[in-house]
Structure 1
Amino acid sequence: MLGWGGGWGATYDDSHAYLLDVTSGATLLSIPFGHSVDALAMVLGELREVSGHIENLRPEVTHVTSGAVAAKSAEDQIAVTGVLESGAVAAMHFRGGESRATGFHWEINGTEGDLVVKADQAQWWSGRLRLYGARGSDGALTELPVPARYQRSLTQWTGRSAEPAYNVAHEYALLRDQITGRLAPDTDGVPDFRHAVRRHGMLEQIREAARDGQKVTLAEQGS
């Protein structure tokens, strides 16, 4: 899984100055990486153990208009490797700033096939995702259509997946279906407060692994 942050690059503006301070809680780890590793865990299963590097390679950044130099304590590079509860190996690299090459790329290689998830923007959860796949004797990846059942009767959003509100609308539809009894609790991707606490606990353990330079076991995160 490869992605960039949008923020936490070589420059900043007034509306995003709060991102510079690691104590604000709005960091590359908690936002782009946090959303992405959450998706990985919900699709492929929880991480069992991790090791990694979290670095601040740009301790000083420049204001886009005034040229003023400001200190930055928040990280701008995250490289994490780990083992899932299934035994599969995962590798994730997130960089601050913007990339001309790759917005978001998630590649899943299985015994019977391959899947690739792509997005042009760093905040992939607020825009259009493209899914590609191949299996068996297929010689190349082909784009896979999203099954109609994922529209959840929100036909007014058909063809509008590039809009930020698209994702929010479907999350509320999932919550509605759970509240009305159409879904069983803790199923089909409906996160709750317990899920958030578990995920942020996992992020803190990833930070601990990077700080201490040691492999950390995350077995309790799946509980």
Structure 2
Amino acid sequence: MTPTGVGIIGPGAWASVSHIPVIAASPAFELRAVSTSRRSSAEAAAAKHGVPGYDDHRRLLADPRVDVVVVAVQVAQHFELISAALEAGKMVYSEWPLANGLAEAERLAELARQAGVRTVVGLQGRYAPEVEHAADLVRDGYVGEVLGTTLVGSGMVWGGEVASHSQAYWFDNANGATPLTSATLHALDPLHFVLGEFDTVAANLVVGRKEATVTEDGSRIPVTVPDQVALIGTLTSGAAASVFYRGGASRGDNLRWEINGTDGDLVLTAAWGNMQVAQLALAGGRGADTTATTIDVPTSYSDGIPTGLAQTPAGSVARLYAQLARDLADGTHTVPDFEHALSRHRLIDAVERASATGVAQSLK
């Protein structure tokens, strides 16, 4: 089968440890071009990856060997680049968040409908083997009837320090890359994959730290992102849900997700708080068990994923690409797409309204 040609806009830090090694290991995809905003970086990326490097995204979009365009840049640039890719008739794989706010997400989803092309959004956390196994265990009755779930995590960034001014955009709420839109939603998507959607949600978004230090020069920058995210709600199943995400890291647990039911409990933990890249551990107990013990995840959940990628931040990205390859081969549509992303942006909007008004929001 002829590989699907991929062009990456923004082959930087994240793409270099996720998309690029996954594409290199996959027989279904082939890297065909990269694009950056500067000639020097485009030439460096081209030399590194052995493909054409463009300093204008329009040239990448015009490359006939590029079938799918990966947009892996700051979210504030997504709308312009994704709109152009859709206008060019390309499949688009956008990193999450899809857009900077609900209005942009609605417009991009509409443009995708009009273009009639496949779309993908990088909400890969649901493909972690531990998450998929937990979903199957819940479905098969391991915990009985789900009573409630609690999820506590750390954003890892948005702490008291940031390495450089080039990363300071994380702390400005206007830029759309916040603890709520990024770390929390990357964790909520697997939660909803396993347990179903929110029926109603209440929220409290708090700007805890008012300033952060840029370590490269010691300067101080203002913090306008809510770095303490507290949600409480009811799932469509009737189960209670409580979610708390903090900016920065904890000296305690950086990720702990419990699913509690009438007959048992499941616990997913990780040392790293960003679920989409974390190395998760799954434990459980039921019946007469007095503690939760390790549950080994069958190797079948990692079928087709190269061993060298499975236990890396690229592991779940590889699983998403593998599912996308199956979709393309079978004519199915199972991977998270722009319509799914729009539903998640509507959830973000509901959370922000709930926090601003103090009134729980319905997601019906």
Q: Paired residue for 1:214?
A: 359
Q: CA deviation at 1:48?
A: 0.4
Q: CA deviation at 1:218?
A: 0.7
| TM-score for both structures, normalised by structure 1 | 0.90
Cα deviation 1:171-219 (Å, max 9, x = unaligned)? 111111222228x534xxx211111111111111111101111111111
Q: CA deviation at 1:124?
A: 2.5
- Find out whether 1:7 has 2:157 as its counterpart: yes
* 1:6-155 pair list within 5 angstroms: 6-14=156-164, 15-154=166-305
| TM-score for both structures, normalised by structure 2 | 0.56
CA distance in 1 between partners of 2:264 and 2:320 (Å): 29
Q: Residue 201 of structure 1: which of 346, 353, 356 is its match? A: 346
- Computing the radius of gyration from Cα coordinates, the structure with the larger value is 2
Question: In 1, are the aligned partners of 2:171 and 2:225 still within 8 Å (CA)?
Answer: yes
- Identical counterparts, % of pairs: 36
Q: CA deviation at 1:82?
A: 0.4
Moved over 3 A (4+): none
Structure with larger RCO (C-alpha < 8 A, sep 6+):
1
Question: In 1, are the aligned partners of 2:186 and 2:275 still within 8 Å (CA)?
Answer: no
Q: CA deviation at 1:29?
A: 0.5
Letter in 1 for 2:186: H
Q: Paired residue for 1:175?
A: 324
Q: Paired residue for 2:333?
A: 185
Q: CA deviation at 1:58?
A: 1.2
Letter in 2 for 1:195: H
Secondary structure of the corresponding residue to residue 167 of structure 2 = helix
CA distance in 2 between partners of 1:92 and 1:72 (Å): 22
Letter in 2 for 1:5: G
**Count of matched residue positions in the alignment of Structure 1 and Structure 2:** 213
CA distance in 2 between partners of 1:161 and 1:139 (Å): 32
Bigger share in helix: 2
Cα deviation 1:157-179 (Å, max 9, x = unaligned)? 27x54311111111111111222
CA distance in 2 between partners of 1:89 and 1:185 (Å): 30
RMSD: 1.5
CA distance in 1 between partners of 2:304 and 2:248 (Å): 37
CA distance in 2 between partners of 1:165 and 1:12 (Å): 24
